Amino acid sequence: MVSKTEKKKRGAPKKYTDKNIMQTKIEEYFESCFKEELKYNSKKKVYEPKIDYKGNIIKYQYKPFTITGLANAIGLTRQSLLNYSKDDEFFDTITQAKQKVEEYVEERLFDRDGVNGAKFNLTNNFSNWSEKSELDTTISNKVTIVNDLPSDVDED
């Protein structure tokens, strides 16, 4: 007879055994969603990154943060990524990454163009979000009698 622990060991080995390696891959994913903003240098006749007043390269987000995009970037399926969050070692790593995606999507609710997609994402990828509608199903036992007979009936 095979014990439960032996059953768990069957199947493909985990892709990640170290949360730090996964964390590095997650950070690379979020960074990959940004591009450097460029400006044309007419003296050198080339495009160069724009620099802010502190000397930092200015970047803009050109690709949205998504759970599936995150999973693909670190070489997992969406479901495998969510399964890693059940492992105590990876729980905080995955939860923080999901929270960053959730924040991005939540902010999109304030953009006119992104509302429907953001609602869909939040209700399907984050358990604490749901769209609810209420239906009043109470039945009233009141009966109203309306006397609508014509008043010009001859009374003998």
Q: How do residues 125-135 score in pLDDT, each as one tens digit?
A: 777 776 666 66
For domain 16-125, say whether CATH 2.40.10.10 is its number: no
How many helices and strands in the chain, by DSSP H and E?
Answer: 6, 4
The predicted model scores a pTM of: 0.65
At 131 the pLDDT is 64
Going from N- to C-terminal start, the domains of the chain cover 16-125
Least confident range from 14-28, 61-75, 131-145: namely 131-145
DSSP E strands in 19-115: the ranges are 34-36, 38-41, 46-49, 59-61
CA distance 132 to 154: 58
Q: Can you state the angle between helices 19-32 and 88-108, rounded to 10 degrees?
A: 20
The residue with greater pLDDT, 42 or 119, is 42
CA distance 23 to 97: 9
